[in-house]
Structure formats: C-alpha cells, structure tokens
Amino acid sequence: MKIAVLGCGLMGVRIAGELAYHGHRVKIFDSNGNALDKVFERLQDDKRMLHEEGLIPQEKFIGQVYCMSRLEETVRDADFIFEVIIEKLDAKKDIFERVSHLCKADAVIASNTMGLSIDELTERTVGKERTLGLRFLFPVYYIPELEITPGPNTSAITIEKVRVLLEKMGKTLFFRSGGNPLILSEEQREARKCARLEQIKLGAYEKCVPALSHRGNITPKAQEESLVASDLDRDCAICMDRLRDCLMQPCHHMVTCYECSKMLFNRKDGCPICRKNIKELIKVYHS
C-alpha cells in the first residue's frame, strides 16, 4: 500500500516507521528541511531500541520510508494520507485543503488530531466523505488501539478501508467515548509492552495478529526473489513512472530515476532515504 505521512515530529516519524515495518511504502513530508534531515536517524534509533527490547523479531523494517520536501510529490499517488502536523486548526485546515486537490480522488485523508473538530478541520476540503480523525496512541509501535473519529460526512466505505488496512497490521479501532481523547498512563503503556513481549516469546505473533508482527508480514522464502523484482522496488520513488536508474553519491542509494535525481540535485535537495547532500549522480543502465 502507498502511504503518505505529513509531519516529521516524533509522532509522525514513528507512525511512518510502524507503517513501513508492516511492509507499506511510506513517503514522509515536512516543509522544514531540518526536520526531514532527522528522520533517518530517528528511525534507526527506534529500530535499535525495539531490537534491544525484543519487540521486533525481524532484523529490519520491511518497507521503506522516503523523505519528501514537496507536498505534491508526497501525496500524488498515495492510497492513505496521515496528517500529523502541529495541533493548530488553521494549519490543519490549510494542509487538508491543499492535499485534497493534489491527491487521488479516492485517497483516504486522516488527521492525528487529539481534540480538533473534524468538521471544522475539513471545512475547505474537497471530498469530505474520505476524511476522518485517526489517532495513533503513544508509543506507536506496541500500542494496538487507534482512536477513530468520523466527521459528519465520513462515508462507511472510508471507515471500512481504514479498518482493513489497520487490522492487517494488528491494530484495533475504537470510537471515542465522550469529549476527551484516551491518554494511556505509564502503567498502561508498560502493560501493553509486556503483553507484546509475551506474545513474541510464545511465538504468538505467528498465530494471532499482534501490533508488531504477524504471518502476513513475514515474507515466505519462495517469495523473496519476486519481492525484490516487484514494481514497488523498481519504480522511481518520486514520479512512480520511470524505473530507478540513478545512483546517488556519496550515500549510494538508488531510489529514483535519473530525471528525478537531476531535479533533486538542481534544487539542492537531499537523498529521499538518508537526506545526505547529493554530490554526484551516476546513471545506471539496466540490461
């Protein structure tokens, strides 16, 4: 699934990491270049922490997170868009309006807002029926619950799309009761973390659907080679039209076509994976 996350704060990065861990291709956007530059480091820190605590049985995230500095490039082909920007109504209204004009007509647009009205937030949004509130609970990686807040125009189809996506990740949707958001105590967080560790120790992550791993996330041996050659691994991460055929120096990442790499180089943007400066481009010719 192609997913966009808007906002590179701590919560946004962890939502992107959780989605990528479950095999989705994730593009993360922020207008602040300094925030984008910290994404790769934060994901690596999270991965080390989860390994040390025994919370992920696999050696690495399955999916990939691409750092994007242009909103249009981030949301253009996304199936799901998760907004995780600053908790200010005007800022969220503005980005929802912009995104609704830039993304696909059937893309689901969700806000991680804690308390703002979805009706007000989507006031200027095109296609209000595909919008809703969807709040990940902190810390994201081992909390299975997600708080869903439909707006007055949210369609049943939109809710079903979200339910299917998240239940495959082992998440459980619940509707807010009352006016206040659910905030877990330290004891509640620790209890969920211990429960996840117990599932992993018992091998339950292969028998049930926990938050961090399940059978659908573990690539069968016979499929590994075909996965490498999949369209997701071959298409340019920016235009999604041309093949990846450019090696960026000095990081050696190859995630874009030559034309898009030149565009990044000319506007002095960083590598979409690690955000290192691009000093040289090497065209790759596929046989």
| 244 DSSP 8-state letter | P
Q: Which amino acid is at 131?
A: T
Q: What is the pTM of this model?
A: 0.84
The predicted-structure confidence for 224-248, as pLDDT tens digits, reads as follows 333 333 455 688 989 888 999 999 9
Give the angle subtended at the CA of 59 by the CAs of 53 and 63, to the nearest 5°. Answer: 110
Average pLDDT score, the chain: 85
pLDDT at 60 over 90: no
pLDDT at res. 208: 38
pLDDT band at residue 223, thresholds of 50, 70 and 90? very low
d(CA 133, CA 121): 10
CA 253, 257, 260, 262 torsion-angle sign: positive
* Number of helices and strands in the chain (H, E): 11, 10
pLDDT of 202 reads 67
For helices 39-52 and 10-21, the axis angle rounded to 10 degrees is 60
> What does the radius of gyration of the chain's CA atoms come to, in whole angstroms?
19
User: Could you read off the pLDDT of 132-142 as tens digits, one per residue?
Assistant: 999 998 888 88
Query: Confidence class of residue 48 from pLDDT cuts 50, 70 and 90?
Result: confident
Q: Please tell me the least confidently modeled range out of 36-50, 77-91, 134-148, 186-200.
A: 186-200
Distance CA(170)–CA(207), nearest Å, equals 12
Domains of the chain: 2-217 (3.40.50.720), 223-283 (3.30.40.10)
pLDDT of 157 higher than 90: yes
Beta partners for 173?
Answer: 146
